[in-house]
Structure 1
Amino acid sequence: MKINIPKEVEFIINNFYKNGYEAYMVGGCVRDSLLGVNPKDYDITTSAKPEETISLFKKTIPTGLKHGTITVLINNNPYEVTTFRTEGSYLDNRRPSSVDFVTDIKEDLSRRDFTINALAYNSTNGLIDYFNGTNDLKNKIIRCVGNPDKRFKEDALRMLRAIRFSCQLSFDIEDNTYTAIKNNYKLIENISFERIRDEICKILISPNPSKGLELLKDTNLLELILPDINSLVDFSPKCTNHNRNVFEHTLNVINNTESNLILRLSALLHDVGKLKTLTSFNNGSFYGFPGHSIEGSLMSKKILLKLRFDNNTIKIVSKLIEHHLVLNVNTMPTKYEVKKLLIDVGKNNINLLFKLQRADINSLDNPKVFLEKVAYTEKLASEIIENNEPLLIKDLDITGENLIYEFNLKPGKIIGDILSFLLNKVLENPELNSKEELLKLAKTNFNL
């Protein structure tokens, strides 16, 4: 079996062999190559000790010297090179207490998580597969190397990785491996939120995100890493206006979205506010979720903050959730209202909002009239953007300095109040956006 090795990777491997060491491309890059997928990066493993690796190449970075990892730079492209190693007992189901360097590739591969990742390759020895990883690739199986209980106790994140690979590759998780996840799910509490977040993101942007969430639910991992989403399971108020299981509805909405992290995070969390807003009207004859989009926006901020998402992601997702509802389909929005929406959501994010709305609506029984309102709103938004109509104070044909100079004002709150007033006027009528007209408006309405 022949696998294509990029020239720079081949150079690194050959350089080790010229100096009396073994070296292989290893792990995900071998797996992806066998699947016919272009690897995103290439990891290399070698019998050379870290100090020896450093001596063999002109440019290196000791990124993980203690654990045997050196980054080798070839034409400024980074390649992680790690010495064959075994690992001591693990601390807190997260990291090994010690690392021992070895000279046998089999010992190194035996410590890896799944058989499909315990593969190595070079042009000299061909494919190294001690744990039948190629059979599992052929049969589309995720299976732990050796004892799955041991693998998950070593690093509990591997439970999420198993589910993530299942979603990314459309593979099934082997029975013993799956049972071990169910038996060890509580160990995930020992893993940092940052590492959990990264796996959630990869599950969400995979080809099968809803499958991932189902697996998380079935293994009980969901209740520990996303308890608010787990609370939506079996939450299906039986009433005339809402008879959907909210968790299943959420999965449908996610399935209706493209692979965009912001969009799928928004879809995942868009109805979480229903948990706190279910309200009975007319002695129980009618139920609703008044304000659930606002509540969901607030809840999403807390959930994403806990998972250590960056501020920009939190801001955009919470805004999309706040505005995801499409109501009052008998009344179309005015241009002024669409401008206010553009200001609040942001021109760069407005299309994500429309995609979220459509994903939500398309999970309903009768989406047509709601889709028509989204289309109308989208058309107005496009016109506003294409015409470069003013939306922000910085778009006004006047500045605070102009106001200070023309009316002999002092810097302070009054300047902001005047500019906000003028912006609102211009939002209603873009033709007012000239310095002359704006000065007139300011003078008349603020007795200047």
Structure 2
Amino acid sequence: MKIVYPEEVKIILDTLKGKGYKGYIVGGCVRDYLLKKIPQDWDICTNATPNEMLNIFKNFKVIPTGIKHGTISVIVNNKIFEVTTFRTEKEYINNRKPSEVEFTRDLKDDLKRRDFTINALAYNDEDGLIDLFCGIEDLEKSLIKCVGDPYERFQEDALRILRGVRFATKLNFNIDNETFDAMHNKRELLKNISKERIREELVKILLSDKPSTGIRMLSELDLLKYTIPDIEECIGFEQKNPNHDKDIFEHTMCVLDNTEPKLNLRLAALLHDIGKPKCFTTDEKGIGHFYGHAKIGEELSEKILRSLKFDNDTILSVKILVEYHMSLYNFEKDKSVKKFINKVGLNNIEDLLKLQIADRKGTKEGRDFNEICEFKNRYEEILNKKEPLSFKDLKINGHDIMELGFSQGKVIGEILKYLLDKVLEDPSLNNKDKLFKLVKEIDIDSLIGKEE
């Protein structure tokens, strides 16, 4: 068969060939092409050493990305392509990185160090498809299988355990029995893997078409304790509530699959009921209740996401979505709607509604979400009117208030809160002169309370 790759890749391969060297596309791009998926990256390997590559591509713009490990980046038509020397790897350190890499002229040596058979495929037009470890057969069987001894592969690099789960989830493949057993057997080696690396794999699992597949697989392999251990407490936890016909974990998986592949939304779906086991009570009729679980879940979410080194913006968004996922929208006045939007944040409100709809879909017989849709219509009307919603929308700021003679400090914030409350009630007040007039009329002592 012939693989059609971008013109830029052809230029790189032809340049290598023209100088008497071998070059191949390798790994995930070959796998994805054979699966009729569009490759995200086109990785190239070669028998040329790094120094030889610098000479071969002297007429190109080259970035010595990881030249110590045999990789340079070649820029063709303003696109970047990594080209790596065939290599073998010496003893691994801390079950993650090789202590040393050794360059080789033999493609087989390079392919046999790779993680899974479906990633150990190489191709060029001259030699065709190189499949030394039955990767094509495993693609046809929809199977994730290690190259060589799976116990050795995971001992070398424990992150491959999570990569196996990620590929199985993303591709909707099964895991080979021996590979599965080795993943389970070697799971404690994940203690040696950085939280950042674990987070990267978890994110890719969560953003797959059906993320619950990956989370279930983590559970089956007893890997949750190395990723999100708090989820374990939800498994099999019966809710004893007439609105639910699933335990907390199964409900969570349903909600997760009913959200779009957006990171903060998927994380919030995974964590929205994480607080339930800690506040479970039953009434005199034996009906289960989870009073305060949203607030507890918000606190647990922050702890979990910080442990996985997520960025502050993601953490804040997920916390808000988890904390307010039980919010009801029986607001009588537009002012209340505006205050709620301001509290949740305009950048989170759409995601909150999507989470709530997914949450309803995960309940018994799927409760309706008419009031959510009604609230969406109301807040969209408010947005269309372009009415002020937050401090930044006010026509005066803290500096303006200080010019009226107020000293910097708590009083400035309290005055701004007072003004925003007035403007939410009556948008016509959002005029500099009117706001200044309001400030001059404020009873400051009653606003901030008299000091004792």
Q: TM-score with structure 2 length normalisation?
A: 0.93
Distance in 2 separating the partners of 1:98 and 1:412: 58
Distance in 2 separating the partners of 1:218 and 1:83: 38
Distance in 2 separating the partners of 1:400 and 1:96: 56
1:16-35 per-residue CA deviation (whole Å, 9 max, x = no partner) reads 11111111010001111111
Give SS of 1:62's match: strand
1:269-297 per-residue CA deviation (whole Å, 9 max, x = no partner) reads 00001122223445x74432111111111
Distance in 1 separating the partners of 2:170 and 2:332: 40
The alpha-carbon distance between structure 1 residues 238 and 409, as it changes in their structure 2 partners (threshold 3 A), is closer
Distance in 1 separating the partners of 2:305 and 2:332: 31
Aligned alpha-carbon RMSD (Å): 1.9
1:39-84 per-residue CA deviation (whole Å, 9 max, x = no partner) reads 1111110000011111111322222122111111223321111111
Moved more, 337-346 or 100-109: 337-346
Residues 241 and 287, structure 1, Cα contact 8 Å, conserved in 2: no
Alignment partner, residue 188 of structure 1: 190
Q: Which runs of 5+ in 1 are unaligned?
A: none
Distance in 2 separating the partners of 1:80 and 1:401: 52
What's the CA shift for 1:332? 4.3
Residues 27 and 121, structure 2, Cα contact 8 Å, conserved in 1: yes
The alpha-carbon distance between structure 1 residues 87 and 321, as it changes in their structure 2 partners (threshold 3 A), is same
The alpha-carbon distance between structure 1 residues 411 and 226, as it changes in their structure 2 partners (threshold 3 A), is closer
1:78-121 per-residue CA deviation (whole Å, 9 max, x = no partner) reads 11111111111212110112211111111110111111100001
Give SS of 1:382's match: helix
Is 1:350 the counterpart of 2:342 in the alignment? no
Distance in 2 separating the partners of 1:389 and 1:47: 64
- Poorly superposed stretches of 4+, deviation over 6 Å: none
Alignment partner, residue 39 of structure 2: 39
Residues 347 and 385, structure 1, Cα contact 8 Å, conserved in 2: no
Residues 244 and 363, structure 2, Cα contact 8 Å, conserved in 1: no
Correspondence list, 1:173-184, <5 A: 173-184=175-186
Correspondence list, 1:131-150, <5 A: 131-150=133-152
Distance in 1 separating the partners of 2:263 and 2:332: 28
Distance in 2 separating the partners of 1:49 and 1:316: 46
Alignment partner, residue 313 of structure 1: 314
Give SS of 2:362's match: coil
Distance in 1 separating the partners of 2:230 and 2:19: 56
Residues 240 and 287, structure 2, Cα contact 8 Å, conserved in 1: no
Distance in 2 separating the partners of 1:20 and 1:206: 41
1:379-429 per-residue CA deviation (whole Å, 9 max, x = no partner) reads 111112111111112212233344344x44444433332221011111122
Correspondence list, 1:240-251, <5 A: 244-251=246-253
- Aligned amino acid, residue 223 of structure 1: K
Distance in 2 separating the partners of 1:385 and 1:94: 50
Identity %: 48
Q: TM-score with structure 1 length normalisation?
A: 0.94
Residues 196 and 307, structure 1, Cα contact 8 Å, conserved in 2: yes
Distance in 2 separating the partners of 1:287 and 1:359: 21
Give SS of 1:349's match: helix
The alpha-carbon distance between structure 1 residues 413 and 52, as it changes in their structure 2 partners (threshold 3 A), is same
Correspondence list, 1:113-192, <5 A: 113-192=115-194
Distance in 2 separating the partners of 1:175 and 1:203: 21
Alignment partner, residue 379 of structure 2: 381
Distance in 2 separating the partners of 1:332 and 1:439: 30
Give SS of 1:264's match: helix
Moved more, 382-391 or 437-446: 437-446
1:164-195 per-residue CA deviation (whole Å, 9 max, x = no partner) reads 11111111111111111111111111111111
The alpha-carbon distance between structure 1 residues 413 and 109, as it changes in their structure 2 partners (threshold 3 A), is same
Moved more, 394-403 or 52-61: 394-403
User: Would you say how many aligned residue pairs link Structure 1 and Structure 2?
Assistant: 443
What's the CA shift for 1:246? 0.4
What's the CA shift for 1:366? 5.1
- Aligned amino acid, residue 383 of structure 2: I
Give SS of 1:231's match: helix
Residues 333 and 377, structure 1, Cα contact 8 Å, conserved in 2: no
Alignment partner, residue 396 of structure 1: 394
Residues 240 and 286, structure 2, Cα contact 8 Å, conserved in 1: no
